[in-house]
Structure 1
Amino acid sequence: MMRNEFVLEQPTVPVSGDSRYLTPLWVSVNVEEPRQSDSSQSVAIGSELQANSLYHQVSISCKIRAVLKLLYFREQHVLVQFWSPLFVGKHLRLTTIDQPFGVGVANEELCFYRKDSEHKAFLVDTDHAEEDLSPLARVFMRGLPEWTSDLTNYKTRAFPQLDCAVRCKLHGYLALPVFDPATGFCVGVLELLVSSKLKDFAYEVKHIQQELKIRNLTSPQVFDGPALNVFNKHRKNELDEIYGILKVVCDSHNLPIAQTWMVSPSASYFVHEKVLEKSCSSFNTRCLRKVCMSTAIPFYVRDFRAWPFMLASKNCHLEMSRGVAGRALSSRGSCFCVDVTRFDEEEYPLVHNARMCRLTSCFAVFLHCVEGNNDYVLDFFLNDSRHVLNMVQTLKHNVKVSSRFELGDTSSIEVVDPPAYLSVNRTDSSGSESIVTDTSDPDYADVMDHCPSTNDSIEEVSDNFTIAVMVNVTFNMFVEQFTFPLVHGLSKLKNEVAKRFKLENRLRLKYIDDDNDLILICCDEDLKSALDASGSMNLICLEG
């Protein structure tokens, strides 16, 4: 098919499978397979290095064209084009001339944008201020993806084709670096433009990455776990020990599944409201400007009915302070929920997967590796919530055996929305442990009556129960969040704040009351006044 001087190959539409409901690409046919004669001719004209480079470039272009023919998209108004590095004189530039491209529908707008692209080239071998670079140049030089839900988020000088893109009704944008695994070098950039203002490019990134892999090319994967790549022997030993801890705890208490979470690394860049910012690897706008967590190796699945939940977790990001694992990370402590299926999807994106796999009770605890200075959250699902503290004791014992780790605070466990049948361990005067399930027990009833519905805690101290609250402390422009048992008093609270902000001088804590006045906390009794209706404490820290 000819369209504005382009020769496009008609796609083959599948007759079965999910792909038949999606849009394939009309792919350009102006790339020839590399031939040995091409290399020989180049040697006669120039150096052998030039010949090998030319042969390699043509080979990459042919692989990209083969990839484009295998891609399917959620809408028709889509353009995908490859930008290849090429020496022009002494400088290396990205160009899309004679490089493969594909369109979902061969209309005037997409062909016009493609034509305009062929008149652009971007310098990638010199240093420039970041705002003077195009997205394509940044992606090639950094080796990291860049994307936005709407091209109008870019400043005009940062996106030379912005006016053309808007005129052609293109909004969603994604640029992926393509690597040759044999050399580790970036061999070009795959650019994707669509008419929709997509909130999530996860499907496209995953699909493209899978097809590149078939042709021995790679690109950053969506939802790359932060610990999937083991860089050294020490890190491998660290992860092996965590796996051993998960396995022992699950086997000892018949737990269906346990997972490890880490803060997601900055693995891409996104443009939002004219600002270019680092982002995690989710390619989802719900993660913008947020600290997210993703699952990492290791995990342990004892009940294979929970295997689908593990797979879903690998494709999900949790916002810090959300869900059980997020709360454990933000407090650097521990958290328990008797039934995670009560969460809404905003609070816990895996809620539907938990329901399908019949997973309810969940305990999460913060874990710090002293040697590698790495932070984790261990996430355990229980078949019986009554045995949570027995499980915690086993966990503490196994972590203590290893000098490599420090476990987050488990003396005061934050409990999220505990129902009436939650049970806790108690130790009587003889030292023996028992299980309390009778809600008529005076001590048990008293703690439940006084616990706020969203931030409760239980503490294992003989027959005593204490309440911990969520504390948010602001110092200068920094914020720390953690749980703190009120029974410990103001002095210990100040010590905790000083430790977290690394303060050596004396400090004062204040809170804002209902009249918007700043009130100094002078004694333990004032802590109760600082509590707000939600059961949390919002404080301001001042030195001196």
Structure 2
Amino acid sequence: MEHLVQQVSEVCSVMPCELDWCQLKPNGWAFWSTKRDDELQYQQTISAADSVVSTSGMVKLRIKSLIANMLIPHISLVQFWSPIQINGLTFLSTADQLFVFNKELDKRLSSYRRLCLDTLIPIDYNEALLAPPVRVFRRWLPEYNPDVQSYSAAEFPLLQTAIRLGLHSYYAFPLLKLPDQRCLGVFEIVSAQPSLCLPDLIKGLNFESVGLYIPNPINILLGLLEPQVEDRLDEIEGLYEILERHGLLFAQIWIPFSPSSSLKVLYCASTSIDKHSSSMYHDFEYASGVCFIESGKALVGRAFASQGSCFCKDVTQLSIKEYPLVPNARKVRFTQSFAIFLQSKSANDIVYVVEYFLPPNEMFARDTKTFLNILLSTMKELLPGFIVASGDELGQRMLVEVVKVSPSDELDSFEIGQPLLSVQSLQDGRETTDIFCQQSNLQNGENNGANALLVSSCISRKRDSLNCDETVEVHPFLPHPIEEAVRNRGKVNLDVAHDDHIEDTNEMMQLDSHFEQPTLEINSAANAATNSDNIHSHKNNAIQRIEKDHGITRKILEEHFGMSLQDAAKNLCVSRATLKRICREYEITRWPHHKTRKVNFHVSQGVSFQATEPCSFPRKGTEYLGNKKSPATGKPCDSVMTLKVTYRGDIIKFQLSLSSTRVELEGEVEKRLKISLQCFSIKYQDEDDDWILITTDSDLKDGMHSLRSLGRTTMRLLVTPEADS
């Protein structure tokens, strides 16, 4: 490769001062100044400074020890930015700090190192011109970008040189000193390869062994201080159906974390991506998983601080100080975003900030309020166990704070949440359907013309050919097929439902001239085949990339089944977010973290489980139980759960329907134990052997369905006096 250096002396010749070096195993080279403070004196000369004061020699030795062990399996440069004093002012500098090249010696990275030696970054300077090392130094939070070329010149002052050298992946994180928690400086990892998961590569380092450490938030990423959030995320999985129903491409769940009394941050605990989306979305997902948003900053932080919701019409216009992901959002062309702070009805400490990125379509800019009303309506339907953190029910009237990014943003907030969607169902014998959606808070009694599109259609019960000329009024945000037509600005095939029968009329619905672009025929066999090939090709490329970057095959993944997701991530030397992304590429929808149950995964058919206590099957001399109904519930065997209830050492056993309510459960228990449960609580044992309190119908249903999905047909319960629970 033309960029590779053949001799170590070529690297030394580029630098302004004499260097010593040594080779690291397996593929690394460490360099440092031959003479102490030689590079500092060089910087004093080029800056015409009277004096330069650096960090102590002992700290340098500790940092040198860390960098020497920071071996990265990619062509990269690792260096350290340390504060120095020049004429009484503080700057970050790489002078007299050891630096390392990994895997290969690269001319481009050598040039970047030399440029950094010629650069002093002021710590106390104009906020708008801060470089990544200073932002990290000030915030004590990491910064990651899979492609530095998505930075602006103000965000990355060395941008033009980085582009000329072909640099891409970038990661910087702070280093603190024990015990005074003083920030010593910033580690910087740079590579000419794009989209490298650089944060995964520092996991094996023992910082505390040399009296240094990284701030608590980063420990979350490394799995050193991982909150138990896996089970909490299960109860909000309805978000993914919301994503699909409304044609959204990307959504995230953020969870708050307080590393200190003075700082509150939120980290991304889960992400949902449209399965046909670009690989750039996965880069954004990874970047979200290794960055933090401070309380009160950007949409997520503001929604958290206000216990409400926020909207921004273009997140790429936010400053990087407020929104660390702005370069990544710019690359994937995310613009409009909506964030809302939710709280579980069953537990006050279970809170999430949900962030949606809306499709970059001009229609949404004209009628955002309508879309958000429909989105809230769907959230209320699919997330019945949640309310807005302020205490309001989903769907009730609420104010949405507007994060202003331009002078055209006149409103500080707007109101949403009144009943919006009204659908008149199909009736027998009718041949026209009105599907409409109106804003209930329309001003001056005027209807918004953008609220609906007129689509020529006709419904026939018996006829094969359509020759009538009737009209269906369709709201543009309704699910397929209309939503598909709106997104594609073209034609769709309409399958008309009538009398519970689906007739494929192959009728083409031409949208109104509301859109100026030419129509597209999206249902052709050729296009379908092409799309299928593209998706298959993308998946193969993604898997090849996983095997190349991480060395993780499906077989290696399966060897870790039975561990917790966090332990598996540690063993595989990747972050939890990266492991989840890898599982999605291999079509593993849920991580099997118990060895006691046998799990069979099939790439093309999802996940199948072998039950540990299957329902009985017909045998000679026994009654077939397939249609036999249990005495307690009167339901078939495949729709019931066997309950074993323990009360003061006694155990009762009975069957309960999967659709039963908490009241029905309590009735069965009271009937058998001859007690009143008014002063008692009931808990069930989940798949992690934790005892979960049953307070609502959804608690019971979630517990039974979760166990059934894992192949279990028996649920253990515990009845205790409330004073003991």
Same fold by TM-score greater than 0.5: no
Higher relative contact order (CA 8 A, sep 6+): 1
* TM-score of the aligned structures, taking structure 1 as reference length: 0.44
* TM-score of the aligned structures, taking structure 2 as reference length: 0.34
Bigger Rg, structure 1 or 2: 2
